[in-house]
Structure 1
Amino acid sequence: MTRELSGPDAEPFDVLVIGAGFGGLSAALSLAEGGAKVCLCEALKYPGGCASTFERDGFRFDAGATLVSGLARGQLFGRWLERYSPQTVIDWIDPLLHVRAPSLELVVGRDRQRLVDQLCALGGAPAEGIRAFFQRQRAVADVLWSLFDDPTLLPPFSVGSIARHVPRLARYAGLLPLVGRSLEQVLATYGVADFAPLRLYVDALCQITVQCPASEAEALFALAALDYYYRGTAHVRGGVGSLAWALLNAARAAGVHTRLPSRVSGLRRERNGAWVVTTRGVELRARAVVANLIPSALHALVDPREAAALTAVLGDRSEELENAWGAAMLYAVARAPEESSPEAHHLQLVGSEEQPLREGNHVFVSLSGGLELERAPAGLRTLTMSTHVRLSELRDSKTEAGRYIAAIQRKMRETLEQRAPEWSRGIEQVLPASPRTFARFVGRPTGTVGGLPRRVGLGNYRGAGPTEALDGLWMVGDSVFPGQSALATAVGGARTAASVLRRLGARPAAPLLPYLAESSRASLPSGMTGDR
């Protein structure tokens, strides 16, 4: 039974945003900056979705093991933090990551050339081909990341954005031969596809970004993803949830009415075209809705009379997500080794180079820093460990799901013990999680995380504009373009907000205009440039 409202909620909103993941947060903030009256409903009592920070027994854990990009000056998060939350501390850690495998150890720092030099110095390395490949990779990434730095260059195109694309046409033309090719084919062009250390590094990075190995990955997406560490990437002090809270508070300061926790339980359209959203026994009305949900979660909310139309728009996407990835997680508390630095650490661990990079054989680990005393007392660190799980195997396996996940989590512990024994032997407590955890807490019925794998095919380029699932009902998040990271979902939220504002008859505010006034490449803090 629903009840009537009084006060500010009684008046229709211009837009109601469902979900405070980074896509929803970005959309809500951008809409409010554009002058819209916005309400944001989030099922949990904290923002961030799959990229949140939660508390258990006095310790604070990142929900997913991750680094965050887009934090540099001129980039989306960097601009918002400078404007709304300059007190948020960004740790420009160096190195960013340690890769550890049976026959390979790499240190990924802020100087990309040092990474290339490490690979070229390995025994049997085709050094000339490696250097040529990374030169080409960087050139492609420079073009594609400029679109992330300025979401107005992404579809749908305005007259102004088309005009700004014209000088770039020559660079775009150079990308066309890569469309429909795998990253493996590009590696082969430079004679480096069979160099095992490079292939392991590339496959592992592709697995956590475009969600598939080089042999399957669409080249353009993968080449851009290989630049992930050099695009304003850093550790957010206090956990990635600190960034989510900063954006939520920015949205509040911009006038967004926020409701946390306030799980949405129904969504229907009135005859006049307005949307009615049911949440915690009340009905809220809005001219438009932006849903930071995966397709199956949105299907569960809409009026059955709308379901067929929604399926027609999202059917293929829903099916692909059903066969995408889930995550097995371990959240741990460990004593810091005596030799450890106070900085946050991020590790990419491979148990066996002969086995697929999933199900405990490949583990990404994020460790809190010694200065993050709000996350763990002095001398202790929190660890977030994740590995990919095949949802199809989880669904179809003859093995009981609980035993299947438990076996994966045991393998995760083995990989940690083999590759990072200094942290493994200090573990004092462990909290396990599975795709069912994400289904329950983050509102993802199938437990899928990470978005759609960017496998070879022209389908990657369909739906590159904002996704309007039904008239006045828009989608953001990792299941729509560009998806697959906190920054990507936030960029998607900002450009979707621009489309919604135009539909409502408003003009996007200045923050949605070009993000880089002086260059398409973001600059890091003084003394911390990505190239030396």
Structure 2
Amino acid sequence: MFNEKGGGDMGVQDVCVIGGGFGGLTAAAIMAQSGQVNVTLLEASREWGGCAGKFSRGAFTFPAGATLGLGFQEGGIHDVINTRLGIQVEKTLLDTVMAIHTEDRTIRYFRDRERFLEEMDSHFPQIDEKIRAFFQHCWRIAAPMNRLSASFPAVPPVSAFDFFHSLKQIKPGDVKLGFYIRRPLSWLLRKYGLEKEEDFIHFIDGLLIDSLQTSSEKASCLLAAYALDIYHQGAYYLSGGLYKSAEALAGIVKSSCGKTMQGRKAVRVGKKDSRWVIEDHRGTSYTADHVVFNVPVEALKDLLDRELYESLPKRSKKDTGGQWGAFTLYLAVSEEVIPDHMPLFQQVVSGIGSPLAEGDHLFVSVSDRNDRYRAPSGFRTLTVSTHTDVEKWNDRRTYDEHREKMTDYMLQRLKTVLPRLEEGIVHLLPGAPRAWERFTGRPGGSVGGYPQTTGNSFFRDHPHKLKHKGLWICGDTVFPGAGTMAVSSSGYHAARSVLRSVST
């Protein structure tokens, strides 16, 4: 439909989506199903889902990154999108969301709020009333946030529709949320006298580094409250992994007469007359009225023609940096080394004062014993990830040595909760930032978007519209930020804006 050898339906505008992560897939599926535009989706790799995709080795399938399913509860962001598109996924609601292992305790994060608070009481008996008050305050803040997020408000607004749509969702009591916009979560901790409770803060920071890429000292109070509440809304194990949801979105594009093209890396976007021209690495050209980028903002520098890029505002011209990288171990192990009744999601956290990165904070996901998408009977797969500073991986001379040291250190940390791990390993594959860069195409191998601090969120976030007419962007470096719920929301914003544009 878009290539230089043919045109699309007469009178119907063409849209090219660059990138098949959750943001691009969501945008493409919504637009294709609408029937209002011709859609072509270009993905550089051979897998859908981006950082939430997968790869296989022999009989084993490994989710590349995030595997905990959030936003799939009734009225959640993924549920709203999937219901609209007619998508169903195999999922299991988790009563125990995860277990957090520190050097001297194991805390279970329960979905049920009262059961969770009782768990907090048992670990922090001297400050139990303060902790209860703190979490109840977080949950009160999060309640309107949950309602508002399901209506897909776009901040900063890029049109009168965005502004009035967001305004229409606000109830009188929601105005109080503005009080928290410029405050970090550390303010709320101080309010309840918890600012010096190092054990508790270390526990909270371990949760926030995974969801917001930062600690309580800098995290946006609103977003942190939302992140601490979302586990109680419903966390799910998705059979196979989140890539199954990604593949279902790609399926909607195809069944709606859109084109999905893998192994097609976009390398240049320019303009000819009134049309956008996209060129892939094979030299094939595509023309479109609209382009939706599902790439990090800093990737625009290498995609847009120089003149177009230079004319962008400062907020759209970012250099590589400012984001975390990930170091990940992918393991296939025999069933017998996994303890009975072990929660499928774990955190392994070093002691107070240790960084929540570089192997001192691990997020672990284990495949369900009955998940045949991931492993044959009698085996499990594990994805074990830690944050890492991408700058530490720039020296090619020490790269391999650093990778080996990180692998050994993470295995030792993992053995604190899986003592028999080494005797059951069938496959062990490390993935450092350079591997992430190859797999996802993200500059420098950065993942997870920018830390969601008070200076990077809401009205200081990047909008889904670029300066030039017909150019849009979604993903984890634009509002509302990181995680599949957020990037799917940004894809929804882009699709909604394109469809409104072509209908007016």
Q: TM-score, normalised by structure 1?
A: 0.87
Give 1:440 shift: 1.1
- For 1:117, the aligned partner's letter is E
User: Which residue number in structure 2 is paired with residue 515 of structure 1?
Assistant: none
Contact 2:208 2:216 (C-alpha < 8 Å) held by counterparts? yes
The correspondence of residues 408-427 of structure 1 with structure 2, limited to 5 A, is 408-423=406-421, 425-427=423-425
Whole-angstrom distance in 1 between the partners of 2:338 and 2:50? 34
Whole-angstrom distance in 1 between the partners of 2:430 and 2:399? 14
Give 1:229 shift: 1.3
Whole-angstrom distance in 2 between the partners of 1:457 and 1:283? 39
Whole-angstrom distance in 2 between the partners of 1:152 and 1:123? 38
User: Which residue number in structure 1 is paired with residue 289 of structure 2?
Assistant: 287
Whole-angstrom distance in 1 between the partners of 2:39 and 2:342? 38
Per-residue Cα deviation, 1:204-261 (whole angstroms, up to 9, x for no partner):
1110011011112121221111123123421111111111001111222233211122
Deviates more, 1:326-335 or 1:150-159: 150-159
Whole-angstrom distance in 2 between the partners of 1:30 and 1:56? 33
User: Which residue number in structure 2 is paired with residue 453 of structure 1?
Assistant: 451
The correspondence of residues 137-286 of structure 1 with structure 2, limited to 5 A, is 137-152=138-153, 155-156=157-158, 162=164, 165=167, 168-272=170-274, 274-279=275-280, 280-286=282-288
Give 1:368 shift: 0.9
Contact 2:30 2:85 (C-alpha < 8 Å) held by counterparts? no
User: Which residue number in structure 2 is paired with residue 63 of structure 1?
Assistant: 64
The correspondence of residues 352-431 of structure 1 with structure 2, limited to 5 A, is 352-395=351-394, 400-423=398-421, 425-431=423-429
Give 1:163 shift: 7.2
Contact 2:266 2:279 (C-alpha < 8 Å) held by counterparts? yes
CA 58–13 in structure 1, closer or farther in 2 if over 3 Å, else same: farther
Whole-angstrom distance in 1 between the partners of 2:5 and 2:129? 69
Give 1:94 shift: 2.6
Q: Secondary structure at the match of 2:30?
A: helix
- For 2:450, the aligned partner's letter is L
Whole-angstrom distance in 2 between the partners of 1:160 and 1:351? 44
**Percent identity over paired residues:** 30
Contact 1:12 1:284 (C-alpha < 8 Å) held by counterparts? no
User: Which residue number in structure 2 is paired with residue 304 of structure 1?
Assistant: 306
Contact 1:344 1:368 (C-alpha < 8 Å) held by counterparts? no
Q: Secondary structure at the match of 2:287?
A: strand
Any stretches of 5+ residues in structure 2 without a counterpart? none
Contact 1:12 1:286 (C-alpha < 8 Å) held by counterparts? no
Contact 2:89 2:244 (C-alpha < 8 Å) held by counterparts? yes
User: Which residue number in structure 2 is paired with residue 89 of structure 1?
Assistant: 90
Moved over 6 A (4+): 9-12
CA 65–153 in structure 1, closer or farther in 2 if over 3 Å, else same: closer
Per-residue Cα deviation, 1:136-164 (whole angstroms, up to 9, x for no partner):
10011112222221114753575697477
Whole-angstrom distance in 2 between the partners of 1:78 and 1:167? 19
User: Which residue number in structure 1 is paired with residue 471 of structure 2?
Assistant: 473
- For 2:39, the aligned partner's letter is V
- For 2:367, the aligned partner's letter is S
Whole-angstrom distance in 1 between the partners of 2:66 and 2:217? 24
Whole-angstrom distance in 2 between the partners of 1:173 and 1:82? 30
- For 2:90, the aligned partner's letter is V
Q: Secondary structure at the match of 2:28?
A: helix
Q: Does 1:73 align with 2:74?
A: yes
Whole-angstrom distance in 1 between the partners of 2:276 and 2:266? 13
Q: Secondary structure at the match of 1:358?
A: coil
Q: Secondary structure at the match of 1:418?
A: coil
Whole-angstrom distance in 1 between the partners of 2:121 and 2:132? 8
User: Which residue number in structure 1 is paired with residue 116 of structure 2?
Assistant: 115
Any stretches of 5+ residues in structure 1 without a counterpart? 507-532
Contact 1:363 1:387 (C-alpha < 8 Å) held by counterparts? yes
Whole-angstrom distance in 2 between the partners of 1:165 and 1:296? 31
Whole-angstrom distance in 1 between the partners of 2:298 and 2:462? 20
Give 1:344 shift: 7.1
Per-residue Cα deviation, 1:334-361 (whole angstroms, up to 9, x for no partner):
1123774589711111133331110001
Q: TM-score, normalised by structure 2?
A: 0.91
Q: Secondary structure at the match of 1:126?
A: helix
Give 1:459 shift: 6.0
Contact 2:450 2:477 (C-alpha < 8 Å) held by counterparts? yes
Deviates more, 1:78-87 or 1:303-312: 78-87
CA 163–504 in structure 1, closer or farther in 2 if over 3 Å, else same: closer
Whole-angstrom distance in 2 between the partners of 1:110 and 1:459? 27
Deviates more, 1:103-112 or 1:3-12: 3-12
- For 2:19, the aligned partner's letter is G
Q: Secondary structure at the match of 1:474?
A: strand
Contact 2:151 2:169 (C-alpha < 8 Å) held by counterparts? no
Where relative contact order (Cα < 8 A, 6+ residues apart) is larger, the structure is: 1
Deviates more, 1:100-109 or 1:171-180: 171-180
Give 1:67 shift: 0.8
Whole-angstrom distance in 2 between the partners of 1:159 and 1:339? 52
Whole-angstrom distance in 2 between the partners of 1:301 and 1:9? 27
